[in-house]
């Protein structure tokens, strides 16, 4: 079964914690076990799992990616958002999270983040969930 999350971003580059939204979908659909696959159908956005307890981790991730792939490099892509395409490729368009007992099996500090690299925009995250209980 497929579920869709809509994520509205308010900044050019931001990590949005979507863990609770994903957990809500798992609960709503009555999924007890299996694997949730999250997929971002955009070429300038991504999804990742990382520490969510300290918000400076997300800030450091964005700053590190900006150092690796600066926005103002003389790229050839005419649309002017090559850095966003490269960052999305580096981070990746999908992650998988096991589900057991109706709960996402994330580590103690782990959260799921939607990664916006060319915002602000309204984006989609597709969830592939196993069927009900």
The pTM (predicted TM-score) of the whole model is 0.95
Specify the residue for token string 């959260």.
111
Structure tokens at 44: 């300038």
- Show me where the domains of the chain are located: 2-128
Q: What is the DSSP letter of 41?
A: -
User: pLDDT confidence of 17, banded at 50, 70, 90?
Assistant: very high
What CATH number matches the domain at 2-128, 3.30.420.40, 3.20.20.80, 2.60.120.460, 3.10.20.30? 2.60.120.460
Residue 18 and residue 8: Cα distance in Å, rounded?
11
94 near 40, Cβ under 8 Å? yes
Residue 125 and residue 33: Cα distance in Å, rounded?
21
Span 55-104, pLDDT tens digits: 999 999 999 999 999 999 999 888 889 999 999 999 999 999 999 999 99
- Of the chain, the percentage scoring pLDDT greater than 70 comes to 98
Residue 21 and residue 64: Cα distance in Å, rounded?
26
User: pLDDT confidence of 131, banded at 50, 70, 90?
Assistant: confident
């Amino acid at each position: 079964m497929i579920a869709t999350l809509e994520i509205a971003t308010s900044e050019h580059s931001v990590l949005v914690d979507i863990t609770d939204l994903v957990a809500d979908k798992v609960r709503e659909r009555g999924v007890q076990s299996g694997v949730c696959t999250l997929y971002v159908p955009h070429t300038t956005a991504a999804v990742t799992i990382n520490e969510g307890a300290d918000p400076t981790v997300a800030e450091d991730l964005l700053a590190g990616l900006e150092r690796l792939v600066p926005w103002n490099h003389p790229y050839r892509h005419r649309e002017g958002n090559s850095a966003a395409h490269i960052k999305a490729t580096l981070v990746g368009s999908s992650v998988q999270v096991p589900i057991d007992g109706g709960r996402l099996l994330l580590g103690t500090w782990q959260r799921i983040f939607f990664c916006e690299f060319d915002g602000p925009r309204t984006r989609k995250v597709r969830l592939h969930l196993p069927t009900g209980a």
